[in-house]
Chains A and B, each alone.
Chain A
């Protein structure tokens, strides 16, 4: 079945440095790739997403890149700040259809990002 691998599992950076988290997916039919941020004790929230017809997307200090050929996508955070400290999850759609189509996401195992002041 569909699998999403995420690396690294933990990442520690100095404030102001960049952070990169990488994910690979197995199903070439996947076409939607969101990233969720989960702060300690809080719910996961979407921070950025990309669709398969786009190679890169930016939102202020956050960017996501997608390489469909290699089946991997990455989250880039520039000028990191202490409030960026959280667990980040990547995900990919499996493209599931049953009756009506539905978006079943497969999540990576998460990256704990610690930004040291």
Chain B
């Protein structure tokens, strides 16, 4: 049950696109299409942004998109906005338990 690996930080200017990777193993990310992504602003509870690798819940802007290749999932934020500055976590089903990623801080320059 090792944490999934994410870059510590990514940054971009308003309007640009950024991508966050989430690398696991064949026992979690690579083995199931059950990767979700959560956004967390300071001192707030996490918010679901993407489920089942690519599905966007109602109310989440279409600027957010998810994908997966092998053992690595990715979250892409297009048309970056100031309010997107937050921490982002991936999470994967691992055949029983779940495992979160190490988290990525997105900075809007």
Q: Do A and B come from one complex?
A: no
